[in-house]
Amino acid sequence: MKILKWGIYLIIFCLPLYLIRLKVLGIPTTVLELMIYGLFALWLVNKGYKDIWTALKHEGLLVWGIVFLMVGVSMATIFSWDLRVSAGIWKSWFIDALIFFFVVVSIIKKDDIKNIFRALIYSGLAVSIISLVYLIQGNFNYQGRLQGIYNSPNFLAMYLAPILIILVANIYSRINIRLILFLVFLILAVTLFFTKSFGVLLGILAALVFGLAIHLYQKKKIKLALGIIFLAFAIIFIFGLVKIESLEGLKSFDARFVIWQTAWESFEDNPITGIGPGTFEDYFPPYPKWGVPQPHNVFLAFLLQTGIVGFVGFILILIWFFRPRADQPRAGRWQLLLMMIMIYILAHGLVDTTYWKNDLSLVFWVIIGVMVIIKKES
Asked if 197 and 154 count as a contact pair (C-beta separation under 8 A), the reply is yes
Q: Which residues contact 21 (CB under 8 A, 6 or more apart)?
A: 28, 29, 30
What b-and-e string marks burial along 343-362, b requiring 16 or more CB atoms within 10 Å of the CB? bbbbbbbbbbbbbbbbbbbb
Helix (H, G, I), strand (E, B) or coil at 205: helix
Distance CA 85, CA 96 (A): 16
Q: What is the 3-state secondary structure (H, E, C) of 99-137?
A: HHHHHHHHHCCHHHHHHHHHHHHHHHHHHHHHHHHHHHC
Partners of residue 24 on adjacent β-strands: 27
Residue 26: what pLDDT? 85
Distance CA 363, CA 302 (A): 17
Which amino acid would we find at residue 36?
Answer: I
Dump pLDDT digits (tens) for 23-79: 988 889 999 999 999 999 999 998 888 888 888 988 999 999 999 999 999 999 999
Partners of residue 22 on adjacent β-strands: 29
Partners of residue 341 on adjacent β-strands: none
Phi and psi, residue 21, nearest 5°: -105, 150
Proportion of the chain above pLDDT 70, given as a percent: 83
Q: Which residues contact 262 (CB under 8 A, 6 or more apart)?
A: 284, 287, 295
Distance CA 18, CA 9 (A): 16
Residue 237: what pLDDT? 55
Domain edges within the chain: 56-377
Does this model's pTM top 0.95? My answer is no
Distance CA 27, CA 335 (A): 39
Partners of residue 28 on adjacent β-strands: 23
**Intervals of the chain under pLDDT 70:** 171-176, 219-255, 282-293, 325-331, 378
Residue 278: what pLDDT? 85
CA-wise closest residue to 61 among 323, 377, 305, 337: 323
Distance CA 322, CA 343 (A): 10
Helix (H, G, I), strand (E, B) or coil at 325: strand
50 burial (CB, 10 Å; 0-12 / 13-18 / 19+) is: exposed
CA-wise closest residue to 63 among 285, 316, 275: 316
Asked if 132 and 191 count as a contact pair (C-beta separation under 8 A), the reply is yes
Which amino acid would we find at residue 218?
Answer: Q
Helices marked H in the chain: 2-13, 31-45, 52-56, 60-78, 83-89, 96-107, 113-136, 153-169, 175-195, 198-218, 222-245, 247-269, 280-283, 298-322, 333-348, 358-377
Phi and psi, residue 23, nearest 5°: -125, 140
Angle at 243 between CA 238 and CA 248, to 5 degrees: 170
Distances (CA, A) of 346 to 21, 83, 354: 29, 28, 8
Q: What is the CA radius of gyration of the chain?
A: 20
